[in-house]
Each structure stands twice: as C-alpha cells, then as structure tokens.
Amino acid sequence: MTDRLITHLRHVDIGVPDYEKELEFYSGVWGLTKVAEDSGIAFLAAEGSPEQYVVRLRKSEEKRLDLVSYGAATTLDVDALAEKLLAGGVQLITQPDRIDTPGGGYGFRFFDGDGRTVEVTADVSPRKHRRIEERESIPVRLSHVVLNSTDINKTREWYERHLSFALSDTIRHPKIGDAMHFMRMNPQHHSMAIAAAPVQSLHHISFEMRGLDEYMRGTGRVKKSGATFMWGPGRHFAGDNTFSYFLDPQGNMVEYTTELELLDEDAWHPHVYDPSKDGVSDQWGTANNPMEEALGKETHNDADHSAFIAPPV
C-alpha cells in the first residue's frame, strides 16, 4: 500500500504494580534480556531482534497498557503521519521530536480511537543481536499484539482509516458475531489483532520462536516454571501459526508462537472463519482444553482504565 507509513511493530509497554515479580518473569522464565533499568522502568530485548527492546515494564500503581510502539521507515514518514493524523482530528500527545529511550530515534505519541497510547518512531539505532541457535527456547523477536475492544468494528475502522492497517481475516462466532479482526501493516498475517471483550484491555503479547522444536521446548520450559498455562500447544487456522498461551504474574496473557503466515498482499482477500467448526481454533487438535474454556474471562484481562490518559514516561 503506497500510503502505508507504518512498517512494523517495535515494542509493547505495560505498567504493573508488582514490578519486581514481572521483571523476574520476563527476564528469567520468558527468556528476554534486560538491557537497561532506571527508577522502576526496565527495557527488555529479544536476543534475535535488532529492536532495542520489545517490552518495557514500568512500576505503576495500576495495571495498564502504557503504549504500543510501531516503526516508520524515515523521519519524513513520521512527520507525514503526524500531519495526516492532525488533519484527521486525531489527538496527539506529543509532537514529532527526538526521543530519549534506548536507541534514541525520532517519533511522537497519540491516542487511538479508544484512547490507547500509540507511538511511532524512526531512526532508532539497531541493537546488536544474534542468531538464535537450534534448541534455544527463547524468543527471537516480538510477533504481534492483540487488544481487547468493546467495539471491534469501530476500532478496526479507525486503524484502517488513520494508519492504513489492512484486514487479513476475521473470526466470527455464530452466537456472538465478530470476535476478532486480524490486522496487518506488512506481509505478516497480523502484527495486531482486535478481540471482542466486555472491557477495554490488553488481550495478549506474542513472541516468535526460532522454529517448531524451540517453540515446543519453550512451552515445556515455561510450564515447568509453574506459570499459569492457559491454552496450547496447538496451531491456529487464521495465520497458520502455533500457539501456547500463559499468564504472567500480573495476569497479562503472553504467547509463544512460530511460523506466522506471510501473505501476498496483492492477491490476498480476507476470510471469515467460524471458531465453532473443528480445526479453526486449533488445526492439530492438541490444545489442552477447548477454545471456549481456554479463552474465557482471563483473556478479557482486568479492565484498563487508562483510556485517554498517557503514561507518565
């Protein structure tokens, strides 16, 4: 798409009351690397990714999604996007400027249609990373983020109109209607998805593993750690990716995945999938419990009351 100014997902930032326990989980059990920490804020990288960090943890009185950060190709694209959003009536939190986080860069923040804080940056210095080896069961990179919305069609339309995201596929349940929209900004089937929920919140953060063997080893390793195992191991139909879902210590859901589908965007047409049909939620039929049981109230997460309230840093 010629008017698409966002290129990829950079990082997901969360605020958590039990900061030390979360940091121990992500930098230990989950397999991320702490690259910087200062005054109750930690930056966590994936060893296989050139992104400076893929998760930022911040000590907060209230559990919340601080922001979702995306990349742009150039500083000119950052400026162009800011102008486009202003012209479209979107509320900017900051103006495009140099940013002071690991890797630096140039970017700005704004509220999406539901009041989530979104950041777009360019000119961020790449982190020295490495090839993840065979049998090494740690994340290669951030894969995607899924957001809970009380009106997923309205949220989908906002991202299409203002950020030029494209719809890849939809999950539509015969009893509840549209349950999830998979959205893309590049050939990856989805970098963001929107899930129907009674509250606005974070649904899950997903991390890409090296391959099937590393994905299974990671699943087993996290299970043995005592982390709450939600659903998996299995393979979705939409996106064709594997899945193993866990809860972090604060009740946010995180996923190990691999082999997410890459699309020919010129030829792709969105599908509508019925999750009540066999094989749609889990092609392999290997997941530890049924989709309806696994994806109950825990996936709705705690209601996030930070709409239109920007994080302090």
Per-domain boundaries in the chain: 6-122, 141-300
pLDDT of residue 1: 44
Closest-CA residue to 257 (of 298, 214, 209): 209
What pLDDT, on a 0 to 100 scale, did the predictor assign at position 2? 53
Q: Cα–Cα distance between 65 and 133 in angstroms, integer?
A: 32
Residue 215 burial (10 A CB sphere; 0-12, 13-18, 19+): buried
Using DSSP bridges, classify how beta strands 228-235 and 242-247 pair: parallel, antiparallel or unpaired.
antiparallel
CA-closest candidate to residue 73, choices 128, 22, 124? 124
Mean pLDDT, each 10-residue run in order, the chain (313 residues):
86 98 98 96 98 98 98 98 98 98 97 98 98 98 98 98 98 93 98 96 97 98 96 96 97 97 97 94 89 60 95 97
CATH number of 6-122: 3.10.180.10
Class of domain 141-300: alpha beta
Task: Count CA atoms within 13 Å of residue 50 on its CB side.
Answer: 6
Amino acid at 11: H
User: ∠50-162-182 over CA atoms, to 5°?
Assistant: 65
Pairing of strands 6-16, 192-196: unpaired
Provide the pLDDT for residue 86.
Answer: 98
